[in-house]
Amino acid sequence: MKLLITGGAGFIGSNFIHYILEKYPDYEVVNLDKLTYAGNLDNLKDIEDDARYKFVKGDIADEKVVGEVVKGVDAIVNFAAESHVDRSLYDPGSFIKTDVYGTWVLLEAVKKFGIKKYLQVSTDEVYGDIETGFSKESDYLNPSSPYSASKAGGDMQVLASRRTFDLPVLITRSTNNYGPFHYPEKIIPLFITNCLEDKELPVYDGGTQIRDWLYVLDNCRGIDTVLHKGTLGEIYNIGANQEPEITNLELTKTILKLTGKDESLMKHVTGLRPGHDQRYAVDCSKIKALGWKSEVSFEEGIKKTVLWFKNNEEWWKKIKNGEYLEYYKKHYKS
Ligand code: NAD
Ligand code: TYD
């Protein structure tokens, strides 16, 4: 099987490529990535000479490039996206271009070149926040940020392509991931690396919010399950269903403890995330019926993740002293 993986130089995409090449010795992978600030070929250094792997720099919104890379491909897994809620407040247009228009370009290629399967990697954030209970795949979409609204727009294109053109599509909607190669702008890698550098941890809006932290390998296994066993046209939630649920404040205290730092590094801030979603939680019974379940507990996953960041200082320091620093100065210090 030959897979086109888009956005494979980012956090989840690069973990997925490693996972696929290891699990399926006879699979080939083409990775199409624009290499935005979040795309990082350092994530794939160990496999760059693997004969089963090929990297192509390009934009999913570019029909010409997409038309070239889909040749001979059996399935597409689309990870490519602008993915950070905070950045979507400053530059929503780039989110719409990639997450909506780019998705449409890929679907057009599925139609034109008769690709056998297309899997859209989406997010639980399309449901909006949910005070109690669990979002189901059939729930209406109620996104809060330009990021989640763009992802919802992408999902709608995928679903419409099924109904109108009978395209062979699937959607996964996972909860927040964490693990190796996580760009240090999202809360877990930002707070771990800030602790390691003795920098402040900006806790937004009292830290009462809840996310259902899913270890990235569990998501990779989930996407693999849906790709191979899912019913075309269906959506599958993927979540850890953590018990008990963890607030951002509890998460922050766990990270402080695991890095040996004290709570004086915590800095409460407000106003940085208007429209801040309070809680996400998803019902995973559909994917569980395909035989998937999350295997890594939060306790285990967060320890592994802290260790990975401790052992890969060069990887994250390059980012934090470069692009991330520029972004931070522009939006938080001016
Ligand atoms: P990321 O920001 O780390 O990586 C995104 C990758 O896409 C980068 O390599 C970037 O260069 C590439 N890219 C961006 N625009 C592109 C374009 N126009 N053409 C080609 N490549 C482009 O994101 P991530 O955290 O790995 O997320 C991957 C996918 O999973 C996204 O679709 C995201 O919405 C979804 N998702 C993420 C999470 C999470 O917690 N990180 C949770 C649920 C769903
Ligand atoms: P984030 O990692 O950006 O993921 P998402 O917004 O997609 O869920 O944020 C997770 C939670 O952490 C969210 O409630 C916002 C909060 N947060 C902070 O408190 N401080 C920070 O510096 C960041 C980046 C996020």
Catalytic residue status for 124:
yes
pLDDT grade for 330, boundaries at 50, 70 and 90: confident
Tell me the pTM. 0.98
119 and 199 co-located in one domain: no
Query: Which of 118, 127, 147, 236 is labelled catalytic?
Result: 147
Task: Establish if 334 belongs to a structural domain.
Answer: no
CATH number, domain at 302?
Answer: 3.90.25.10
Structural domain contains residue 117:
yes
- Cα–Cα distance list, 175 to 39, 129, 152, 239, 285 (Å): 21, 12, 14, 5, 14
Residue with tokens 């409460």: 268
- Residues 125, 203 share a domain: no
Statement to judge: residues 120 and 11 lie in one domain: yes
Ligand 2 center–CA 167 separation, angstroms: 35
Direct distance between the N- and C-terminal alpha carbons of the chain, in angstroms, rounded to an integer: 50
Residue 187 in contact with ligand 2 by CB distance below 6 A: yes
Ligand 2 atom closest to residue 83's alpha carbon, by position in its atom list: 7
The catalytically annotated residue of 59, 124, 185, 224 is: 124
Looking at the fold, whether 203 and 310 belong to one and the same domain comes out as yes
Contact by Cβ (8 Å): 33, 59: no
Q: Which numbered atom of ligand 1 lies nearest the CA of 59?
A: 19
Mean pLDDT of the chain: 97
Q: Residue 189, class by beta-carbon neighbours within 10 Å (0-12 exposed, 13-18 middle, 19+ buried)?
A: buried
pLDDT band for position 188 (cuts 50, 70, 90):
very high
Q: Could you tell me if 131 and 192 lie in one domain?
A: no
CA-nearest residue, atom 17 of ligand 1: 59
Residues 147 and 7 in one domain: yes
pLDDT of 22 strictly over 60: yes
Q: For residue 2, what pLDDT is reported?
A: 98
Pocket residue to mutate for ligand 1, from 4, 12, 91, most atoms within 8 A of Cβ: 12
Token reading at 135: 């979002």
Ligand nearest to C-alpha 16: 1
The pLDDT value given to residue 334:
44
Atom of ligand 2 nearest to the CA of 85: 6
What does the pLDDT look like over 287-303, one tens digit per residue?
999 999 999 999 999 99
- Whether 315 shows a pLDDT value over 90: the answer reads yes
* pLDDT tens-digit readout, 82-104: 999 999 999 999 999 999 999 99
Q: Looking at ligand 1, which residue's alpha carbon is closest to its atom 12?
A: 7
- Tell which atom from ligand 2 comes closest to the C-alpha of 147: 7
Tell me the pLDDT tens digit for each residue of 109-140.
Answer: 999 999 999 999 999 999 999 999 999 999 99
Is residue 233 domain-resident?
Answer: yes
Assign residue 15 the CATH number of its domain: 3.40.50.720
- Asked whether residue 159 is assigned to any structural domain, the reply reads yes
* Domain assignment of residue 318, given as a range: 187-210+242-276+296-328
Residues 180, 312 contacting (CB under 8 angstroms) = yes
- Reply yes or no on whether 147 is catalytic: yes
Q: What percent of the chain has pLDDT over 90?
A: 96
Most distant CA pair in the chain, distance? 57
Model pLDDT for residues 34-57, shown as the tens digit of each residue: 999 999 999 999 999 999 999 999
Assess whether 46 and 111 both reside in one domain.
yes
Among protein residues, the one with the nearest Cα to ligand 1's atom 15 is 81
> What is the average pLDDT across 180-208?
98
Residues 251 and 312 reside in one and the same domain: yes
Q: Is residue 116 part of a domain?
A: yes
The reported pLDDT for the residue numbered 333 is 54
Do 82 and 222 lie in one domain? The reply is yes
Distances (CA, A) of 203 to 17, 145, 208, 242, 282: 33, 19, 10, 21, 24
**Are 198 and 168 contained in the same domain?**
no
Q: What is the pLDDT of residue 324?
A: 82
What value does the CA radius of gyration of the chain take, rounded to a whole number of Å? 19
Looking at the structure, tell me whether residues 148 and 269 fall in a common domain.
Answer: no
Which token pair is 140?
A: 């209406």
Task: Indicate whether 181 belongs to any domain.
Answer: no
- The span from the CA of 115 to the CA of 9, in Å, is 22
92 lines ligand 2 (CB under 6 A): no
What type of residue sits at position 44? L
Ligand nearest to the CA of 185: 2
Task: Provide the H-helix boundaries in 24-171.
Answer: 63-69, 85-90, 92-95, 103-113, 146-165
Q: Is residue 287 part of a domain?
A: no
In this prediction, residue 322 carries a pLDDT of 86
- Res 31 pLDDT > 70: yes
324 as an active site residue: the answer is no
Q: Do 76 and 152 lie in a common domain?
A: yes
* pLDDT given at position 127: 98
**Per annotation, catalytic residue among 59, 82, 125, 224:** 125
Q: In this model, does residue 312 exceed pLDDT 80? A: yes
Please check whether residue 118 lies inside any domain of the structure: yes
Total number of domains in the chain: 2
CA of 66 to the centre of ligand 2 (A): 32
